[in-house]
Amino acid sequence: MGQVSTRGVNLATVVRSPAFQRGFKDYVTGNPAAFDHEWSSDSRIDSTSKMWAYERGRHFGAWCAGCGLQLDPAAWFINRRLSWRVLNAARDAQSEGAIR
């Protein structure tokens, strides 16, 4: 079996993903992991990328909990724009290697 092809993406694009947000929310609310969830949103993105985004969201939630950082999943966007607080926290998590 071959490797999955990859490409570089912007961190903000990953954080905006509904799958990333769902992974984060599932972690912080204590819901069980939904690895088998059928992601119907954004048909331009393949299911493997959505699963990776979901798992990154769960890792981000764990990182936030470990740092004592509380981010409200309902306040992810402000006037349809990604919250700077969320994006800055994601950059910090990325720089520490918690998410890639």
The pLDDT tens digits for 2-20 are 776 777 778 888 899 888 9
Residue with tokens 């954004």: 42
Residue 79 identity: N
Task: Report the pLDDT averaged over residues 44-72.
Answer: 87
pLDDT tens digits, one per residue of 64-76: 999 999 888 888 8
- Supply the pTM of this predicted model: 0.82
Is pLDDT above 90 for 27?
yes
The encoded tokens of residue 5 equal 């092809």
Percent of the chain scoring above 90 in pLDDT = 39
CB 44 within 8 A of CB 78: no
Residue 61 to residue 67: CA distance in whole angstroms: 10
